[in-house]
Amino acid sequence: MTLHWLDRIWHITGSLPLAAGQSREEAFGRLDPLFRQSGTARERRGDTLTFRKKDQAAQDSMSVFDGGVLQIRESAAGAELHYRLSSRALLFCFLAPLLFLAFAQLTIVLGTLEKPAAPAVAGHKDVKKLVELPQSPIDKALGAPAPDKPKKDGTDLSEGQDKKPSPTSAYVFAAMFAVLYVAGRILEDRLVKSLFRKALLGLSVEEPALGMAA
């Protein structure tokens, strides 16, 4: 059960009924244009089509997916198309919040372990020995400018003395990627089902999906 839940993080699965009287050959024939794209390799064996994508173009209506399997199965209700698609973009958006939360916790720990800075007095003779305000690891990773160094006369040391590395930016990025994952997971599920349905009905599928990689 746990493995199934983990698998669903970056895989999208679903099924669609074929039109009454639609043969397997006709169904795969209508789906085929979706996989005749730059960077896409496909292989079909009987009732199963397997595809892989590498360096796919943004104009590809299925560019968010890196590979998958499509299979036509017979059931009591008739023939159905079953699909299982994988997306590294979804996996990245799922893992990114965890990474930024780890940065936030690291920032908090460093702030706790930081020793209090020595009292700042204007005209202090030994200003060079005063502790400079450290930069948050997440701010450094994102290329933020380093904190200003203490002035030689020590006039600004008292202002920055009580400041500690803040995990706020890490929390903001974690929230952004979490929202992006949830929205992308729901949106891509609906978009790819709509894309396959249109293809099976013979409707135009030339327009790219408005998904995460579009």
Domain residue ranges in the chain: 2-89
Q: Is residue 135 scored above 60 in pLDDT?
A: yes
Predicted pLDDT of residue 21: 87
DSSP H or E run through 66: none
CA proximity to 162, closest of 120, 126, 127: 120
Describe the strand order of the beta sheet including 11-17 as a list of residue ranges: 11-17, 78-86, 67-75, 48-53, 40-45
Higher pLDDT, 143 or 131: 143
Nearest to 196 by CA among 35, 54, 23, 11: 35
| pLDDT for the residue 112 | 81
| pLDDT of 65 over the 90 cut | yes
Considering the four listed CATH numbers 3.30.530, 1.20.1630, 3.30.40, 2.20.25, the one that applies to the domain covering 2-89 is 3.30.530
Q: For residue 213, give Cα distances in angstroms to 35, 37, 68.
A: 17, 15, 17
Reported pTM? 0.70
Nearest in space to 154 (alpha carbons), one of 126, 114, 116: 126
